[in-house]
Amino acid sequence: MAGNPRLLLSESGKILQVLRLNSGADKRLRGGHVWIYSNEVNTKATPLKQFAAGEQVVVETANGKALGVAYVNPNTLICARLISRSVKQTMDQSLLVHRLKVALSLREACFDQPCYRLVFGDSDGLSGLVIDRYYDIFVVQISTAGMEALKDEILAALLKVFKPQGILFRNDGKMRDMEGLESYVETVYGEVPEMAPLMENGVPLVAPVMAGQKTGWFYDHRLNRARMQQHVAGKKYSTCSATWVAGVYRHWLPVPTM
**Residue 80: which CATH number?**
2.30.130.10
pLDDT for residue 139: 97
pTM of the full structure: 0.86
Please indicate, yes or no, if residue 161 is contained in any of the structural domains: yes
| Structural contact between residues 171 and 200, judged by C-beta atoms closer than 8 angstroms | no
122 is in which domain, residue-wise? 93-219
Kindly report, residue by residue over 1-52, the tens digit of the pLDDT. 445 455 545 466 778 999 999 999 999 999 999 999 999 999 999 999 999 9
Domain count within the chain: 2
Average pLDDT over every residue of 194-215: 87
Alpha helix stretches (DSSP H) within the chain:
27-30, 93-110, 145-148, 151-161, 175-178, 222-232, 244-249
- Residue 240: pLDDT over 50: no
3-state helix, strand, coil in the chain (%, to 5): 30, 30, 45
Categorize the per-residue pLDDT at 170 as very low, low, confident or very high, splitting at 50, 70 and 90: very high
Q: Between the ranges 1-5, 55-59, 214-218, 244-248, where is the mean pLDDT highest?
A: 55-59
| Together in a domain, 35 and 116 | no
pLDDT for residue 9: 54
Average pLDDT over every residue of 71-84: 97
| Together in a domain, 69 and 160 | no
The residue that leads in pLDDT, 207 or 5, is: 207
pLDDT for residue 63: 95
Q: Would you tell me how many other CB atoms lie within 10 Å of the CB of residue 159? A: 15
